[in-house]
Amino acid sequence: MEAWPQSLRIALQILLSSRFPMQILWGPDYIQFYNDAYIPIAGNKHPAGIGQRAEECWQEVWDFSGVLLAQVRATGEATWSEDQLMILNRNGQAEEGYFTFSYTPIWDEPGQVGGIFIAVNETTQKILGERRERALRNAAQAAAENLENLITSISDELMMLDSNWCFTYVNDRAVGALQRSRQDLLGQSIWAVFPEAIATPFYEQLHRAVEAQTVTSFELFSATEGRWLENRVYPLNNGVSLLRVDITERKNLEQALQTSQEELHSLLNTAPASIARCRFFADRTYILDYRSVGCEALTGYTLAEITPDLWMARTFAEDQAIIAGPGWRSPTRLLSCTTALLTPKAPAKIREPPLRCGCRSCLMRQKLQQM
**Any bridge partners for residue 88, and if so which?**
95
Query: Is 239 in the same domain as 281?
Result: no
Residue pair 201/216 in contact (Cβ under 8 Å)? The answer is: no
Count CB atoms within 10 A of the CB of residue 179.
Answer: 9
Q: Classify the phi-psi angles of 199: left when phi > 0, otherwise alpha if psi is within -120 to 50, otherwise beta.
A: left
**Any bridge partners for residue 239, and if so which?**
162, 236
Count CB atoms within 10 A of the CB of residue 254.
Answer: 12
- Tens digits of residue pLDDT in 326-357: 554 433 333 334 444 444 444 333 234 444 43
DSSP string for residues in 124-158:
HHHHHHHHHHHHHHHHHHHHHHHHHHHHHH--SEE
* C-alpha 54 chain-centroid distance: 54
CA distances from 291 to 267, 280, 308, 317, 335 (A): 13, 16, 11, 22, 20
Query: Is 245 in the same domain as 281?
Result: no
Cα angle 149-153-156, degrees, rounded to a multiple of 5 = 135
* C-alpha 212 chain-centroid distance: 24
Domain assignment of residue 165, yes or no: yes
Domain assignment of residue 264, yes or no: no
- Tens digits of residue pLDDT in 238-260: 899 999 999 999 999 999 999 98
Query: Is 245 in the same domain as 286?
Result: no
Per-residue pLDDT 10s for the chain (371 aa) are 778 999 999 999 999 999 999 999 999 999 999 999 999 999 999 999 999 999 999 999 999 999 999 999 999 999 999 999 999 999 999 999 999 999 999 999 999 999 999 999 999 999 999 999 999 999 999 888 887 777 777 889 999 999 999 999 999 889 999 999 999 999 999 999 999 999 899 999 999 999 999 999 999 998 888 899 999 999 998 899 999 999 999 999 999 999 988 888 787 777 766 666 766 665 666 677 777 777 666 666 776 776 767 666 665 566 666 656 655 443 333 333 444 444 444 433 323 444 443 334 434 434 444 54
All residues at 6 or more sequence positions from 326 whose CB lies less than 8 Å from its CB, including other chains: none
CA distance 300 to 272: 14
Domain assignment of residue 130, yes or no: no
Query: Is 87 in the same domain as 160?
Result: no
Q: What is the pLDDT of residue 325?
A: 61
Q: What is the pLDDT of residue 148?
A: 77
Q: What is the pLDDT of residue 273?
A: 66
Domain assignment of residue 133, yes or no: no
All residues at 6 or more sequence positions from 11 whose CB lies less than 8 Å from its CB, including other chains: 24, 106, 115, 117
Query: Is 282 in the same domain as 243?
Result: no
Q: What is the pLDDT of residue 322?
A: 62
Burial zone of 251 (CB within 10 Å; 0-12 exposed, 13-18 middle, 19+ buried)? middle
Residues 109-139: b if buried by 16+ CB within 10 A, e if exposed: eeeebbbbbbbbbbbbeebeeeeeeeeeeee
- CATH number of the domain that residue 186 is part of: 3.30.450.20
Residue pair 36/50 in contact (Cβ under 8 Å)? The answer is: no
Cα angle 257-259-264, degrees, rounded to a multiple of 5 = 95
Burial zone of 176 (CB within 10 Å; 0-12 exposed, 13-18 middle, 19+ buried)? exposed
Number of domains in the chain: 3
- Which ranges in 46-166 belong to alpha helices (H)? 54-57, 62-75, 124-153
Query: Is 11 in the same domain as 116?
Result: yes
Query: Is 93 in the same domain as 191?
Result: no
CA distance 15 to 25: 12
Domain assignment of residue 45, yes or no: yes
Query: Is 13 in the same domain as 111?
Result: yes
Domain assignment of residue 346, yes or no: yes
Domain assignment of residue 265, yes or no: no
* Sheet containing 94-107: order of strands: 31-34, 22-26, 113-122, 94-107, 79-89
Structural domain including 60 reads 6-122
Enter the pTM of the model: 0.51
